[in-house]
Chains A and B, each alone.
Chain A
Amino acid sequence: MVNLIWVLLTVIGIVFAMFNGTMEQVNEAVFKGGKEAITISFGLISVLVFWLGLMKIAEKAGLLEKLSYMFKPFVSKLFPEVPPDHPAMGYMLSNMMANLFGLGNAATPLGIKAMEQLKALNGNSDKASRSMITFLAINTSSITLIPTTVIAIMMTYGASSPTSIVGPTILVTFISAIGGILIDRIFYYRRKRKG
């Protein structure tokens, strides 16, 4: 899918330039775009280093575990099929905590671990279980507290207040998470009715 979009963007652009007489601008764009990408990547280094460093401290100090424990009663309601003390619950909660702090890369291995446990709970079937779909719905709406990457880009371009997006991001992320959970429930009851 991404492959196709990528090729289409480039090819349509070139063909369009032929008829639009903008070939010169396209030539310029090739070099500008690449340079831009490097500027962004370097702008990201400082923020990524700082937050991943800080989060390592939080992780080692047991803060992520403590937070998971606090959220346990709430998450139990979301996943009625998963026993509260099952390892799947622990992995799912740690994954959500990592996402909460914008640690996408730390979240992925935890998410995979959680899926493994959920699959075991589902008798190792190759079919997605109810809990797996709920877990994915929460993951794709990505509850975020600090959108570190985006703040870094805003800083790179000299935003007057790069952290002003934190508030709206939190609000939107919660709306979409609640939306995702509701949609998941609607689909679940629809499946159940059909048998």
Chain B
Amino acid sequence: MGIIGLISLWLIPILIGYILIYGTLKKIPTYETFVEGGKEGITIAFSIIPYLVGMLVAISIFRASGALEFLMNLMKPALTILNIPAEIVPLAFIRPISGTAALGITSDIIATYGPDSFIATLAATMQGSTDTTLYILTVYFGAVGIKKMGDALKVGLLADLVGIIASIIVVTLMFG
């Protein structure tokens, strides 16, 4: 798994260097273009605030009341047999349903257990490597007026399941 660590370390700087050199060779006004694109980033960061506030307050209440702990203890025996950490279950459930809600749970896990913990690494990998099937389905099919979805939802959700299981196995092998 050493090679994966190396990719983690080198990929980003190499990508940045490559894009900047390529852009310069293509005579793109690099700095101005960068600023133009960056402005979109500010808009996105601000537009997710209400989603995050709503979801994080709800999760905080749920956690602080002791309900989350109660639920996790209830599921623990079954999860222990499968070698799945109980703390990840809420994220695995919500990831296909809502991207911003999942982002809220991921942040909450990282804040609660510390960014260098195993469970935070698992949550981050799960968040990064899967997508919100329900959102994609709604937006893409809704925009062009597809009413009969066929197997699309089943295929999408099963693909999510593969991603969730794969992230548990990969992260356990690498960091467990």
Contact = CB atoms under 8 A, between A and B. Distances in A.
Interface of A: 1-2, 5-6, 9-10, 12-14, 16-17, 20, 22, 25-26, 28-30, 32-34, 36-38, 40-42, 44-45, 47-63, 105, 108, 111-112, 115-116, 119, 126-128, 132-133, 136-137, 139-142, 144-147, 149-150, 153-154, 157-173, 175-177, 179-180, 183-184, 187-188, 191
Nearest to A106: B40
Interface residues of B, number: 106
A150 B45 contact: no
Which 3 pairs show the lowest CB-CB distances between chains A and B? A56-B37, A147-B128, A33-B60
B80 interface: no
Contacts of B174: 167-168
Contacts of A58: 19, 22-23
Nearest to B54: A6
A47 to B, nearest CB: 8
Contacts of A170: 4, 7, 129
Contacts of B98: 1-2, 5
25 contacts: A1-B134, A6-B101, A12-B62, A17-B64, A25-B65, A33-B59, A47-B41, A48-B41, A49-B41, A50-B41, A57-B19, A58-B22, A60-B23, A115-B140, A119-B144, A119-B145, A140-B132, A150-B124, A154-B110, A163-B12, A168-B171, A170-B7, A170-B129, A176-B166, A188-B151
Contacts of B33: 53, 56-57, 60
Contact of A53 (B38, B115, B128, B170): B38
A86 to B, nearest CB: 16
Q: Quick one: which of A157, A165, A166 has the most chain B CB within 10 A?
A: A165
A136 B114 contact: no
Nearest to A176: B163
Given A126-B145, A164-B8, 11 more contacts: A2-B97, A25-B65, A41-B48, A60-B28, A140-B96, A140-B132, A142-B130, A173-B128, A173-B163, A176-B162, A187-B154
